[in-house]
Structure 1
């Protein structure tokens, strides 16, 4: 029963492990090459993601929700789209670094369409990439490709915003479950990065111990419901579970 639950919670990890096992049996050399390539990206992620988690923590703690709503929200209009392109184009790092940041932006009021623009610009419209593109393929090629890419991104952003709703994003609305009387709060210490946001927002329920958050009082009641709600909502790595 415990193994089954772990498999359900980590479907992707178990699926990839199964593929590696099958590949190891069928073609040992390819399995070794695939594993070495995977480890390269895993090491890269371990180097980059701590910085990303710190950045998301800073966004949570220091950027007011109203600022996000005004500049990236549903009613931000052309200003929001322009700002999204700028944010995505000037960002550094691989595309997977953008996912936790964008989820934090959505939690704080950014629209789905603007987040699509940020992700897309992050992937294909980075300023350093445009400079190199112009150098190797020519300015005319770069400009035309850039214009067509912008048009495609705008169309894609609109379509995604139509078909994907906020409540379909995993754990985004998790804190709304706090209205239920029998809920308790827990910390997944494997995910926790010890940023201290939960302790700051709800000191009666959380504290930092040995570099990780721990639950002092997991019971949710009328007195602490709002503070726990804020902690669940603003945890940059979704380590707080109900």
Structure 2
């Protein structure tokens, strides 16, 4: 019971704050609960398909294949695949993190996973098309051309700044080893 409370302490505190807000400022409390409910429904619409695709990725793609195409020695091919996967993705950014976890579990290079997350957040094709229609093709093209090296530079700097122990911890978390120990 103590572990459950520890794991969900943030959620419980927010729930208590929302309930207090509902009692003290009913209009604001109702609005907070409406927003929370809308966000919950949105997540319930996105998360199940993402987990089905993750299960398929986990079963269909062998670890050796992932290491060959996105692992430490993948070079430009790994970077290109990470950019393409991130850019072709659909859905909100929070859906990228379970996918990143599976990529790490399968042996992808850490910087390639960071590139994947960066591409998901900034270079998704539907977002680029919307941006081109709203802001113009020139703006979209310049931003896109700035984002590509920016994502790669941030990913490589982040990988170099992390110690081997930090990266090992992240890979263990992705593999679920940390949870097995606790």
Q: Determine if the TM-score, normalized by the shorter chain, exceeds 0.5.
A: yes
> TM-score, normalization: structure 2?
0.86
Runs of 4 or more, structure 1, over 6 Å off, are none
Aligned-pair Cα RMSD in Å: 2.3
State the partner residue of 1:105: 103
- In the superposition, relative to structure 1, how do residues 172 and 24 fare at CA in structure 2: closer, same or farther (>3 Å)? same
Q: Is contact 2:67-2:108 (8 Å) kept?
A: yes
Q: Mark the structure with the bigger radius of gyration.
A: 1
Please list the CA deviations of residues 182-236 of structure 1 after superposition, one character each: whole Å capped at 9, or x if unmatched: xxxxxxxxxxxxxxxxxxxxxxxxxxxxxxxxxxxxxxxxxxxxxxxxxxxxxxx
The alignment status of 1:167 with 2:168, answered yes or no, reads: yes
Q: Alignment partner for residue 49 of structure 2, among 48, 51, 54?
A: 51
Shift in Å at residue 127 of structure 1? 1.0
SS at match of 1:16: helix
Shift in Å at residue 174 of structure 1? 4.0
State the partner residue of 1:18: 16
- In the superposition, relative to structure 1, how do residues 23 and 128 fare at CA in structure 2: closer, same or farther (>3 Å)? same
- Residue-pair matches, total: 178
Q: Which has the higher strand share?
A: 1
Q: Gaps spanning 5+ residues in structure 1: where?
A: 178-237
Q: Is contact 2:79-2:112 (8 Å) kept?
A: yes
Q: Which has the higher helix share?
A: 2
State the partner residue of 1:83: 81
Shift in Å at residue 106 of structure 1? 0.4
Q: Is contact 1:81-1:114 (8 Å) kept?
A: yes
